[in-house]
Amino acid sequence: MAQTRWWQRGIFYQVYPRSFQDSNADGIGDLDGIRARLDHLVTLGVDAVWISPIFPSPMADFGYDVADYCGIDPMFGDLDAFDRLVAEVHGRGLKIVLDFVPNHTSDQHPWFAESRAARDNPKRDWYIWRDPAPDGGPPNNWMSNFGGPAWSLDAATGQYYYHAFLKEQPDLNWRNPAVRAAMHDVLRFWMARGVDGFRVDVIWHLMKDAEFRDNPPNPEYAPGDGDIRRFLQTRSTDQPDVHDIIAELRAVIDEYEDRVLIGEIYLPIDRLVAYYGENLEGAHLPFNFQLIHASWTAPQLAALIAEYDAAVPEGGWPNWVLGNHDQPRIASRIGAARTRVAAMLLLTLRGTPTLYYGDEIGMENVPIPTQEAQDPWEKNEPGLGLGRDPERTPMQWDASPHAGFTNGRPWLPLAADFATRNVAVQMQQPTSLLNLYRDLIALRRAHPVLHAGTYRKITALGDVLVFLRESAAECVLVALNLAGNAQEDIPLPPGTLGQVLLSTEPGRAERVEGHLSLRPYEGVIVALDARG
């Protein structure tokens, strides 16, 4: 355990830069704002800040439509502001990870301007162009993740270009060696500026079926699911040769000392773990989103944890996530009462956890009036509840106007409860969710078994999940009550005595013998010793 690397020992914290802190009163967060709030990350105890896209962009998809991979959008600052941020991040003992969006660019990227200029342009093959179907329509049935066909006709050249997301986000052709070389140089550009790693957006999309065959119908599709679920994306994503592409990315990352490659992958566990690479030459951390989509019952959580833990290849490193900028907030998914137990679960499972900004204070989804919706997905498929604005609202720092986020008009509305649910208030409350996160992170750092020890399920009966974290030096039991009623007589392992190290509820530090009792929605961490 002493030989684990920083991204194995550490905790990542995702910042959505538009919503973290505004420094110039335009209502949109920026790099200087992030820099001004680094003390919060240090006090919280996390180890690395992951920043969603900050590159020059027309903002059709809020930065995931990149127009220049080697610059900073003026909305967020400039390269000097970025360098200052990197210096201060490192000066505080933290790491910095950038979002890398290699699947697609903006349609305003100079590469695409050249590509669409003519069929014989040298950069034509940098993107995915196909002739129309015999009826003049799209080349196949692939659908956009944001609604409608994933093909748009370029009238000037008579061909369709492919875009897995918005029509303003044409997909790059990763079968072209020149594309790969250009993107490898992008990684080198940022690592030379001190970036410690990358979270790679939709990494499982990078390669498509070489024959562009139709996707099969989805037998589970139901009206209201959104267009993307009409078909199973077996041809447009997760192709076998994507792993060669990822191995090349990893090789570039490995040119620099102690960097990390994280992949965004929404796939079942058996396909997810393939992204570690056959010989662990893939992503260091293929993002594991199982807790985001889980049904929060003890038996189902126990089953998915065990399945994932067993599936991680030997030498691979697990990771866990409760929320991100694309998913409803954890407090809204499982209810505020369970957020304390969820925090304890996240920070006691084997592997690397990632926190989403605001989850440490229990921020919830904020209802966004239709006329104020910003997310293009919501605008393209209105009324289906697919928009992501509710989980991207400004960070709630204090009770001042606009929650201390801005002196201007926030780009998205604030939560109605910001005056009482904010960092400043919770810092003064010993039993707040924020202070529970701080205590959990400190305990995790003090007890390496909590990040690197083995995982062993003890029981998952009814509403209680109990598991052990074990190493040669320590044995820790975690018991989580997911229900609103007390749970009695939860047995300790035979032949052991326990000392409560931390509870999600105040006032517990007792020795325990034989069995535990849990209050409603309580979780406890217990150090175990052999009796006698």
| Residue 358 falls inside a structural domain | yes
Task: Domain of residue 352: give its range.
Answer: 6-103+177-440
What pLDDT shows up at residue 531? 64
Residue 331's φ and ψ, nearest 5 degrees, are: -65, -30
SS3 470: strand
CATH code of residue 522: 2.60.40.1180
Inform me whether the pLDDT recorded for 1 exceeds 90.
Answer: no
Token pair in block for residue 464:
């209680």
User: Could you tell me if residue 350 is inside a domain?
Assistant: yes
Rg (CA), the chain: 24
Residues 149 and 242 in one domain: no
445, part of any domain: no
Does 236 share its domain with 307? yes
Choosing from 392, 416, 440, the residue where a domain stops is 440
Indicate whether 122 belongs to any domain.
yes
User: Does 227 share its domain with 279?
Assistant: yes
pLDDT the model gives residue 478:
97
Indicate whether 170 belongs to any domain.
no
Q: Do β-strands 159-162 and 475-481 pair in parallel, antiparallel, or remain unpaired?
A: unpaired
Least confident among 88-102, 105-119, 238-252, 374-388 = 374-388
- Is the pLDDT at 459 greater than 90? The verdict is no
| Contact predicate 96/194, CB 8 Å | yes
Q: Are residues 76 and 136 in the same domain?
A: no
Neighbours of 315 (CB within 10 A): 8
Give mean pLDDT, residues 337-343.
97
Residue 172 in domain: no
pLDDT band at 462 (very low <50, low <70, confident <90, very high): confident
Same structural domain, 416 and 489: no
Catalytic residues, by residue number, are 201, 255
- Kindly state whether residues 323 and 217 are assigned to the same domain: yes
pLDDT at 449: 96
Average pLDDT over residues 81-89: 98
Does 447 map to a domain? Answer: no
Q: Could you tell me the CA-to-CA distances from 118 to 110, 122, 156, 214, 282 in Å, in that order?
A: 14, 9, 8, 27, 36
Let me know whether 184 and 243 are in one domain: yes
Q: Domain count of the chain?
A: 3
- For residue 171, being part of any structural domain is answered with no
Distance CA(247)–CA(250), nearest Å, equals 5
Do the beta carbons of residue 486 and residue 471 sit within 8 Å?
no
Q: For residue 171, give both structure tokens.
A: 């997909």
User: Tell me, what's the pLDDT at 379?
Assistant: 86
Q: What is the pTM of this model?
A: 0.97
Q: How far apart are CA 441 and CA 450, in angstroms?
A: 10
The pLDDT of residue 225:
84
Distance CA 205, CA 71 (A): 24
Domain boundary among 379, 407, 440: 440
SS3 398: coil
**370 vs 30, more confident:** 30
Q: What confidence category does residue 223 fall into, taking pLDDT thresholds of 50, 70 and 90?
A: confident
The 10s digit of each residue's pLDDT in 34-56 is: 999 999 999 999 999 999 999 99
Dihedral angle sign, alpha carbons of residues 60, 397, 366, 484: positive
Whether residues 475 and 427 share a domain: the answer is no
218 and 279, same domain (yes or no): yes
Q: What is the mean pLDDT of residues 96-121?
A: 98
Assigned token pair, 506: 């105040």
Co-location of 223 and 184 in the same domain: yes
Strands 48-51 and 95-100: parallel
Domain boundary among 409, 440, 471: 440
pLDDT, position 80? 98
**What CATH number is given to the structural domain containing 133?**
3.90.400.10
Together in a domain, 353 and 424: yes
Question: Which residue do the tokens 């905790």 mark?
Answer: 11
Question: Are 79 and 114 members of one domain?
Answer: no
